[in-house]
């Protein structure tokens, strides 16, 4: 018998996919684009007397380090978190265990096949990262230690995703669980150590941080490498532990067990998801009368309840981490970090919630049944949009208020630091007013872009859910299109405008470029919203008639943004 037959088969299948090839090309193209933007900005700064000099290599190295780290960290959430749970939903995982295959065969097969895209993408970016080493300011040891951290973090992230997938059945819950578990290791554990040290670098001692991939990344450029190698080893061992647990759980968690205890837990889970029988009856009578699609999309209540619990948890954790040294600097930093992390998770939750309804409806045939009723496609879309608003409007409002409070603390802290470093500014009312105006404008722009970005993710997610069969692929497309590429391009454009303002002798106020690019970003989000809304209302029936992967032929194979062709009579029948 072939050693690890599932690995052999999955790697052969994955290597032949067009997506494997194009992901490698796309990662290299994005890295080259970012390098070109940085070099162009550096040249603009040199002409304006703001040369980066020997720091250019360090700037490039730091930028690519954190971008690559974010990429490998997201691999487990998007690539492997639904690998085994999808097989459970389709009913194919049990068939594999009818053979002489073991749990580790299935787990390693899923791990290797789903890691191919991320591994090729990371390797395609290596030569561009190496240019930072050639520009100076970075040693060869730092470069190779970064490579070790990125590969180790990728392995850890994928292992976490496989482990969560082994204990889950629902794609949305699997992605949420993988994100929260990985965030625990990456963000929460280092923050606990910093809280113990009272946010003083001289008192910091790594305890929980030794199992954090982010701590290994920060220690890759350290002169004392003992903690680096220890952290790298701990993270690697933890990854194998998660894989071992997934291999043990996979044969035992693929089917539902019929027992009184299980029935009791299922009843509790049903109450958590749909409410009590009385509440279910009340909601059904109210929503079915208005729009049946509204009831179908919004009857699952667990995400709304979970959002409020997660938001309360973030606030409590942020308070506990900052209470040991309750000054405004620490409180502002922890608040900003908590708000940013919750905003990232909220984008993920919106995307998964928006895509899930249409994917499940297309897979189970519910969409065909809905379109056979007097319901119009526009009513179906409105029902899903209503469910998204009902679930996420409250947490989004609280997040925006929390961001406003954190930004105000940051404004006060920045103003105090500048006045302390330069006492002569205390009498310069124009400078103080300009400082307040700029920070307030940036805060308002940040909150508005957060709202517009989430709405755009919801609408693009609905469209991707309609034209995709795989939930993870639909979520990846929605987030990359809306919250991935545009912010990167607009960020570089903002920095270029700031450099250009300095070249022109400070003709603009320092916050004008941020305002301009925020308006452009909101305009891009509005364009995404209008386009996705128009395509949903116009092509819903056509896509449902042909099927997600066949709609529009080859034009629908990746982004699925082309117009669906009219189905033939044979296709409809």
> Picking from 111-115, 301-305, 354-358, which range would have the lowest pLDDT averaged per residue?
301-305
Distances, alpha carbon 223 to alpha carbons 127, 145, 430, 433, in Å: 25, 12, 44, 43
Would you place residue 150 in the very low, low, confident or very high pLDDT band (cuts 50, 70, 90)? very high
Contact in structure between 355 and 478 (CB atoms under 8 Å): yes
Instruction: Quickly list DSSP for 48-95.
Output: TT---GGGHHHHHHHHHHHHHHHHHHHHIIIIITTHHHHHHHHT-HHH
Mean pLDDT value across the chain: 79
With residues binned 3-state (H G I as helix, E B as strand, rest as coil), the percentages for the chain, rounded to 5, are 85, 0, 15
Distance CA 341, CA 29 (A): 28
Rounded average pLDDT over 84-109: 79
Largest CA distance in the chain: 82
Residue 183 CB contacts under 8 Å (≥ 6 apart), including other chains: 341, 345
pTM of the full predicted structure?
A: 0.80
Predicted local distance difference test score (pLDDT) of residue 505? 54
pLDDT in tens, 106-141: 888 888 888 888 888 888 888 888 887 787 778 888
**For residues 530-543, average pLDDT:** 90
Mean pLDDT, range 540-565, rounded to an integer: 54
pLDDT in tens, 214-253: 999 988 887 778 889 999 999 999 999 999 999 898 888 7
Whole-number pLDDT of residue 293: 83
The better pLDDT of the pair 371, 329 is held by 371
């Amino acid at each position: 018998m072939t050693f690890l037959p599932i690995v052999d088969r999955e790697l052969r299948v994955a290597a032949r996919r067009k997506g494997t090839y194009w992901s490698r090309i796309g990662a290299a193209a994005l890295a080259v684009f970012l390098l070109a933007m940085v070099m162009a900005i550096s040249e603009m700064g040199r002409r304006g007397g703001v040369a980066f000099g020997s720091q250019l290599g360090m700037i490039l190295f730091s930028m690519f380090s954190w971008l690559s780290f974010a990429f490998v960290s997201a691999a487990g959430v998007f690539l492997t978190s639904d690998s085994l749970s999808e097989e459970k939903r389709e009913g194919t995982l049990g068939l594999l265990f009818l053979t002489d295959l073991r749990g580790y065969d299935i787990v390693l097969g899923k791990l290797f096949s789903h890691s191919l895209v991320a591994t090729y993408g990371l390797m395609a970016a290596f030569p561009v990262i190496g240019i930072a080493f050639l520009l100076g300011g970075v040693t060869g040891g730092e470069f190779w230690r970064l490579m070790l951290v990125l590969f180790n973090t990728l392995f850890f992230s994928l292992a976490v995703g496989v482990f969560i997938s082994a204990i889950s059945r629902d794609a949305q819950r699997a992605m949420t669980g993988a994100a929260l578990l990985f965030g625990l290791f990456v963000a929460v554990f280092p923050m606990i150590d910093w809280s113990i040290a009272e946010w003083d670098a001289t008192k910091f001692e790594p305890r929980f941080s030794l199992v954090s991939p982010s701590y290994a990344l920060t220690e890759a450029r350290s002169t004392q490498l003992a903690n680096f190698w220890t952290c790298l080893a701990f993270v690697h061992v933890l990854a194998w532990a998660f894989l071992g647990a997934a291999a043990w759980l996979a044969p035992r968690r693929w089917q539902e067990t019929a027992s009184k205890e299980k029935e009791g837990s299922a009843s509790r889970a049903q109450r958590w998801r749909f409410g009590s029988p009385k509440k279910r009856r009340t909601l059904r009578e109210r929503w079915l009368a208005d729009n049946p699609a509204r009831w179908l999309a919004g009857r699952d209540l667990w995400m709304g309840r979970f959002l409020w619990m997660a938001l309360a948890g973030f606030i409590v954790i942020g308070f506990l981490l900052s209470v040991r040294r309750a000054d405004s600097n620490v409180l502002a930093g922890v608040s900003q970090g908590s708000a940013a992390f919750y905003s990232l998770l909220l984008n993920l939750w919106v995307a998964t919630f928006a895509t899930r309804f249409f994917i499940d409806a297309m897979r189970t045939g519910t969409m065909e049944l809905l379109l056979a009723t007097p319901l119009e496609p526009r009513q179906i879309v409105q029902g899903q949009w209503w469910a998204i608003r009902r679930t996420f409007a409250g947490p989004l409002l609280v997040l925006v208020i929390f961001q406003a409070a954190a930004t105000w603390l940051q404004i006060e802290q920045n103003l105090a630091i500048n006045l302390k470093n330069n006492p002569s500014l205390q009498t310069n009312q124009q400078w103080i007013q300009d400082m307040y105006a700029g920070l307030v404008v940036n805060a308002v722009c940040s909150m508005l872009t957060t709202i517009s970005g989430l709405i755009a993710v919801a609408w693009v997610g609905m469209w991707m859910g309609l034209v995709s069969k795989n939930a993870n692929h639909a979520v990846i497309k929605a987030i990359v299109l809306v919250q991935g590429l545009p912010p990167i391009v607009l960020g570089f454009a903002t920095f270029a405008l700031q450099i250009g303002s300095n070249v022109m002798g400070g003709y603009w106020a320092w916050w004008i470029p941020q305002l301009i690019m925020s308006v452009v970003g909101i305009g891009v989000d509005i364009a995404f919203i209008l386009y996705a809304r128009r395509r949903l209302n116009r092509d819903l029936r056509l896509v449902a008639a042909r099927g997600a992967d066949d709609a529009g032929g080859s034009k629908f194979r990746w982004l699925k943004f082309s117009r669906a062709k009219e189905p033939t009579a044979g296709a409809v029948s």
